[in-house]
Chain A
Amino acid sequence: MKLKRQTHAELCELQRRTGSAIMRRLNGASRMQQTWMDGRRTADVVAEFIKPNDRLTSFDRIEIYNRQYWFRLIDCLYDDYRGLHAVLGQAKFNRLTIEYLDRYPSRCFTLRNLGSRIGQFLDERPDLIQPRAELAREMAKFEWAQVVAFDGPVETPVTVDDLLGANPTKLRLALQPYITLLELHWPLDDWSIALKNSANTLRSEASNAVESEAKTAIERPKLPKKKTVFVAVHRYQNMLYYKRLEPAAFAMLAALRDGRTLEAAVGAVMESNEDRDWSAEVQKWFANFTSMGWFCRRK
């Protein structure tokens, strides 16, 4: 018997329907929804394009993929937003991730970008992060900055030749794209490190469970107390760093990032304290930042 050759349009339609089934949001019990978008039984709809086998129905077979797709995405968000998870707690974080993925489904080939719109989503849905909305928003920004710092692109750093003979009143520099400057109202850098250390210790304890019976329970660090800090999230020699900055250094870097000239940027430093002799301090800052390759040419 000669089989009918499938047309390109039919293949596209099959892919579209399969994708719809796999990527469709799960129900409250983390299972595939029983009712299709048009009100029919999902089991009837998927039976039109997925064959059953001797052990699983069409519904059962596609449900496996539907669930693993969602679990994978949720797991990815958990990996990138462990601090946010700690701020909100398990139940609220779960709800947040599902609502987020429903509102902003994965549309990029790379899972790296999956959480890129969390910040925007938290602004749209403050109801999901009460009563710690402000802390949650800052944590999300801080954690996204780490994704950027980890693998954001790097531009060629400025060289001595770029700077020789430069006029500070005209010189404009750019910051490397992987650097994020953050004014935080909680010391989330310290807290994140404590959180990671605590998680590592817990993992280590779990792997030595027999030996650790006598050891005291390890508690997750308490939520941080309010304190304003200025932080640059960056990488250096392929390692992730949180660098605390003096407020004046932060203002100066932000001014350079925003396109102001070198002279105008140091004006931002002077505004914080006109009586202080800034020259030696500023020279030291710039030597350090430049030795890490933070500045590049402005395009």
Chain B
Amino acid sequence: MKSSTQFSIAAAALSGLLMGTAARAATVAVPTTPANHQSIQKSVDAGQKAAIKLADSADKHDCAGKNDCKGKGGCKTGDAGCKGKNSCKGKGGCATNK
């Protein structure tokens, strides 16, 4: 009994995974307008935003908002190796404007 219940919850999890990936794919495929951007934001519950906007804050990371080495790792240096080159956010190692 427990096993079948567990399997049915796992199946529900899998269907949730498919729903989420499909929704995500749709947001990537459709050009973002201010209107649909807002509706996408509302449909995703990301939690509480840390109080300051990283891209706007005084202590922002060198690459914040420049966004082009996203996910590649190892970009930042204290001297802002990526500064103005638009490429380090999300790649790891982007340190802040210290």
Contacts and interface: CB of A to CB of B under 8 A. Distances in A.
Interface of A: 72, 75-76, 79-80, 109-113, 146, 150-155, 157-160, 162-164, 166, 168-169, 171, 178, 189-190, 192-193, 196-197, 200, 203, 231-232, 234-236, 238-244, 262-263, 265-267, 269-270, 274, 278-280, 282-293, 295
B9 A269 contact: yes
A176 to B, nearest CB: 9
A286 B16 contact: yes
Interface in B63-98: 63-65, 67, 70-78, 88-96, 98
User: Which DSSP category, helix, strand, loop or mixed, fits chain A's interface?
Assistant: helix
Given A168-B14, A283-B16, A238 B77 contact: no
Contacts of A241: 46-50
Contact of B51 (A72, A80, A113, A193): A193
B36 interface: no
18 contacts: A152-B90, A157-B24, A162-B21, A168-B14, A200-B52, A236-B46, A240-B49, A240-B54, A243-B48, A270-B2, A274-B2, A285-B13, A286-B12, A286-B13, A290-B19, A290-B20, A292-B24, A295-B17
A197 B53 CA distance: 11
A79 B20 CA distance: 35
Q: Can you list the 10 inter-chain pairs with the closest CB atoms, starting with the nearest?
A: A290-B20, A243-B47, A286-B16, A154-B71, A112-B95, A168-B10, A196-B51, A283-B16, A151-B94, A279-B12
Contact of A79 (B51, B59, B67): B59
Contacts of B39: none
